[in-house]
Amino acid sequence: MNKTAFITGAGGYIGSETARRLARDGYAIAAADLREDTLAKTVESVRAAGGAARAYPLDVTQPDAVEATVQRIVSDFGSLDALVHVAGGSARIGGGVPKPLVDQDLGVIETVIKVNLYGALWTSRYAARAMIAQGRGGKIVAFASAVGLNGLRGSVDYAASKGGVMSMVRALAKELGPHKINVNAVAPGVVMRPEENGGDQRAFGTNFLGEKCTAADVAGLVAFLCSPDARLVTGQTYVIDGGRSLAMKGSD
Ligand SMILES: NC(=O)c1ccc[n+]([C@@H]2O[C@H](COP(=O)([O-])OP(=O)(O)OC[C@H]3O[C@@H](n4cnc5c(N)ncnc54)[C@H](O)[C@@H]3O)[C@@H](O)[C@H]2O)c1
């Protein structure tokens, strides 16, 4: 049976790695992103490795566009079996920089909430409708962040949006359980890009395993949640941060 995964943010660091990983696991990839150039690169890389992929330029903050994209994916591939909502980020996706809530631009706050939280709601809503109509279950994985659990100064908007994602998966898991659709979140800590190799203190010094977390590590967790092995896992948020979020200020 062919399976299709709709991945948002597929042009980004974690999204592109997730696309390649799910393709290796047998999913055809419906790759979506606001940026067409990086999206094209992801599709190319999946195909180069022998997988099937198509590009869907998409702004996840627009519910009508999300609905139309889901319909196109089902018509192009014949089914929709997994949604991974990776698109997101903190103040920079709104063209700003992290700032205290009292100083942050209203437009930046709005964009962060819209991409991270509304994006999760819109993509889940329309993907779930398609999965329910197919009647063969499905997997939904939305991206949260350890910041949504523990907070971060300068990123109140981001924390609020990712906290919303974690609450969303708990409630949605209850609604979609009867349809055999699993709904979970992943909450990375610091995910290091290859060009950030120099940041050893941030990469190694802030987690208890002394290991660098990469996009491939996160993609592996997503792959598990999108696999038959996770059939009884739903409504959960999985933190992947080498134990970093266990730290308490001022003590070990
Ligand atoms: N990198 C980390 O350390 C880290 C830590 C915790 C959580 N996360 C979360 O993981 C996810 C991916 O992070 P990343 O590091 O790969 O970021 P990234 O910036 O490399 O990728 C994000 C992608 O989302 C896309 N995007 C932004 N706005 C969009 C919109 N309106 N519609 C569609 N696509 C849009 C961007 O074009 C980009 O390709 C994000 O949700 C982020 O909050 C990342």
How would residue 200 be classed by pLDDT, with cut points 50, 70 and 90?
low
Mean of pLDDT values over 49-74: 98
Distance CA 35, CA 124 (A): 21
* pLDDT at residue number 192: 84
The sheet with strand 82-85 has its strands ordered as 53-57, 27-33, 3-8, 82-85, 138-143, 181-188, 237-240
pTM of the model: 0.97
Of 117 and 192, the structure prediction assigns the larger pLDDT to 117
What is the residue-averaged pLDDT of the chain? 95
Distance CA 111, CA 95 (A): 9
* pLDDT at residue number 1: 67
* Residue of 6, 7, 8, 14 best suited for mutating to test ligand 1, as the one with most atoms within 8 Å of CB: 14
Res. 212: pLDDT tops 90: no
Res. 198: pLDDT tops 90: no
Q: Which residues, other chains included, contact 48 with Cβ-Cβ below 8 Å and sequence gap of 6+?
A: none
How would residue 199 be classed by pLDDT, with cut points 50, 70 and 90?
low
* pLDDT at residue number 117: 98
Distance CA 24, CA 134 (A): 24
Q: What is the pLDDT of residues 109-157, one digit of tens each?
A: 999 999 999 999 999 999 999 999 999 999 999 999 999 999 999 999 9
Beta bridge mates, 85? 8, 142
Span from the CA of 25 to the centroid of ligand 1 (angstroms):
22
* pLDDT at residue number 201: 66
Span from the CA of 10 to the centroid of ligand 1 (angstroms):
9
Mean of pLDDT values over 219-235: 98
Q: Which residues, other chains included, contact 189 with Cβ-Cβ below 8 Å and sequence gap of 6+?
A: 145, 146, 206, 207, 213, 239, 240, 241, 242, 244, 245
Q: Percentage of the chain surpassing pLDDT 70?
A: 95
* pLDDT at residue number 250: 72
* pLDDT at residue number 247: 80
DSSP conformational letter for 5? E
* pLDDT at residue number 131: 98
Tokens of 111: 């964009």
Contact indicator for 56, 36 with CB cutoff of 8 Å: no
Catalytic residue among 13, 56, 158, 238: 158
Which domains, and CATH codes, for the chain? Answer: 3-187+216-236 (3.40.50.720)
Query: Which residues have any ligand 1 atom within 6 Å of their CB?
Result: 8-9, 11-15, 33-35, 38, 58-61, 86-89, 93, 115, 143, 145, 188, 190-191
Q: What is the pLDDT of residues 7-44, one digit of tens each?
A: 999 999 999 999 999 999 999 999 999 999 999 999 99
Atom of ligand 1 nearest to the CA of 218: 10
* pLDDT at residue number 44: 98
* pLDDT at residue number 115: 98
How would residue 211 be classed by pLDDT, with cut points 50, 70 and 90?
confident
Of 164 and 197, the structure prediction assigns the larger pLDDT to 164
Tokens of 113: 């909430």
Mean of pLDDT values over 61-76: 98
158 is a catalytic site residue: yes
User: What number of other Cβ atoms are within 10 A of residue 235's Cβ?
Assistant: 17
Tokens of 80: 């929709």
Dump strand ranges (E) for the chain: 3-8, 27-33, 53-57, 82-85, 138-143, 181-188, 237-240
Q: What is the CA radius of gyration of the chain?
A: 17
